[in-house]
Amino acid sequence: MLFNMLVLPLVLVVAVWYLAIYLKWKKKVFDIMEKIPGQKWYPFIGTFRDYVTASRADVIYKFIENTKKYAPFYRSWNGNIPEIHVMKPDHIQVLLRNSTHNPKGPFYEYLLPWLGEGVLLSEGAKWFLQRKLLTPTFHFKILEGFTEIFGEKAKRLNSILAAKADGSYFNILPYVHVSTLETIMETSMGVPLRKITDKPLDYIQNVHEITEIAMWRYWQPWISDYIFRFLPVGRRHKNLLDELHAFSKKVVDYRKEHEKNNTLLKPKDIGEKKKRLAFIDLVLDAAENKNLLSDSDLQGLADTFVFAGFETTANTIGWILFMLGNHPQVQEKALQEVRSVLKGKEAPTTITELNELRYVDYVVKETLRLYPVVPFVTRTTTEDVEIDGYQIPAGAQAIVHIYGVHRDPDHYVDPEKFIPERFLPENAKARHPYSYIPFSAGPRNCLGMRFALLELRTIVASIVNKYKITSLHNPEEVKIFAHLIVRSQVGINVKLEKRETGC
C-alpha cells in the first residue's frame, strides 16, 4: 500500500518528465532534421547501424559510400546528436567564416583528457585569450628565425635515410615522424628531444594509439563514459594518458629548471652560437603576467603544440613523397627547381630560398588537396542556421568534408589526378576561397599553417635533392584510415636511390 502511494506517483512523474523532454526534442530537433535527406535513425545508435559491424579498415569506405549516396548535403545522427554534412564551398563558408559557430563539436571531447583546454579545444573567452597570445608567435619574422632549424633537421634526416637507400622498399614514416618531432620540440618548447626521451618512437606510438581510441569512441556513441572506464580499451586509455602527460610534464619541468639562467637551448645542445627563442618563450612574454598561464596550462600547451606540430607534418611529408614516387615527371621538375635554387647546398636554410621553391610549393599544395591534414572538421551550431533551404537547429554538429570539397569536380577538373599546376596563380585565382581548405578556414583556422608549409618545403626539397624516390604502391592500391588525420593503412613504402650528382 505504501509502495503504491509513494513509489508509483514518483515513477509516473519521472515518466511524464522524460516524455515532455522527448516531445520537445522531437519537435525542435528531430522533426526539423528529418526533413534533410539521410539514413534512417534508430534509438541509441542513430544512423550508425552500418558501422557497427564494419571492420576498422572499412569504416571510412562505408562512410564514403553513404556520403556519395546523399551528397552534397545530408544529415546523420550520432546517437541522439544531430549532424549535418557539408561539402560545397558555399555551404562550408556559412559555417566556418562565422565566429558564432566556433565550438569544435562533440568529437573533440574525446581528446580533452589528453590535450586539455588549449587553443585547439577551448571555447569562448578562454579560446579568445589563447588565440590572442599565440597569434603573434606565428608572425612571419619569427618563423623566418626557424628556417635554420628546419634545414638542420632535414640534413639530419637525410643522413639517417642514407642507410636505407639500398634499393629496397621500406616504410619511411617512422623516420619522418622522429625528424618532425625533433623540430617541433626545439621550435615550440625550446627543448632538445633527447633531453626528454631516448625512445621517441614510444611517444609517437602512444600518440597514434590515443587518437585511434578517440576515433573508436566516436564510432561507438552508445558506450557511455562510465562504461568506457571499465572496458579494456578504457584502462589502456588511462595508461596512455599517464605516459603522455609524463612526457609533457618532463618538458615543462625541464623548461622551469633552465629558465632562470636563460639557457634552454645551449650551444652544446644544438650546435648554435646563440639561444633561439621558442614559441613558448614568446607566449610567456606576450602574457606579461605569467600567472595567466599555470603549470597545467603550460603542460596542455606542450601536449597540443607537440602533437599538432609533428604528427600532421610527418604524415603530410609521407603523402608528398608517395605522390612524387608515383609521378617521376613531377619529381624531376621539382628536382630541377631545387638544384637551381640551392646551388649545391643540401637543404634550404633561408626564407628567400624557400620562397623561390614555387613548384615545390605547388606539389605540397596539390598533395594537401588530395590528402588533407584532416579529412573533416566539426563545429557546433550555437544558433539556428539555414543551409541549402533547410533549417538547422542550434546544437547540431556540422561536419565539414574537407576530403570531399577538395575532390569537387565543379572546382577541380579530373579531381582524382595529381596536377601541381592547378596552383599556378593564373589557375587558382578564380577558385572559390572555401574550395581549398587543408588547414580549415575562418576564425578557427590552423595557426601553424605557415610554419607547416615552410617545414614541408624544406624537408621535401632536401630529400628530392639527395634521393630519387619510387613508391611501392600506387594511389589506387593504398587505402586510408578513418582517423583524426588521413593515414595510409599500409604506411608509406618507398625506395630511395642516391642521386649521382648534387649533394
Residues annotated within a binding site for heme: 446
Rounded to whole angstroms, the Cα distance separating 490 from 473 reads 9
Identify each DSSP E strand in 371-492 by its residue range. Answer: 376-380, 385-387, 390-392, 397-401, 467-471, 480-481, 487-488
- Residue ranges at the known binding site: 446
> Which residues touch 369 (CB under 8 Å, ≥6 apart)?
406, 412, 422, 436, 438
Task: State the pairing for strand pair 73-78/467-471.
Answer: unpaired
**β-sheet bridge partners, residue 392:** 385
Rounded to whole angstroms, the Cα distance separating 277 from 224 reads 44
Judge whether 150 and 451 are in contact, CB under 8 Å: no
Q: Which three cell numbers stand for residue 249?
A: 610534464
Rounded to whole angstroms, the Cα distance separating 274 from 265 reads 8
User: If DSSP codes are grouped into helix, strand and coil, which group holds residue 280?
Assistant: helix
Half-sphere exposure of 329 (CA within 13 A, CB side): 4
> Which residues touch 401 (CB under 8 Å, ≥6 apart)?
67, 85, 86, 87, 375, 376
Q: How far out from the chain centre does Cα 329 lie?
A: 30
> Which residues touch 440 (CB under 8 Å, ≥6 apart)?
96, 374, 377, 400, 402, 446
Which spans in 169-290 are helix H?
173-184, 200-218, 225-230, 232-259, 267-270, 279-287
Q: Which amino acid is at 480?
A: I
> Which residues touch 427 (CB under 8 Å, ≥6 apart)?
421
Judge whether 29 and 397 are in contact, CB under 8 Å: no
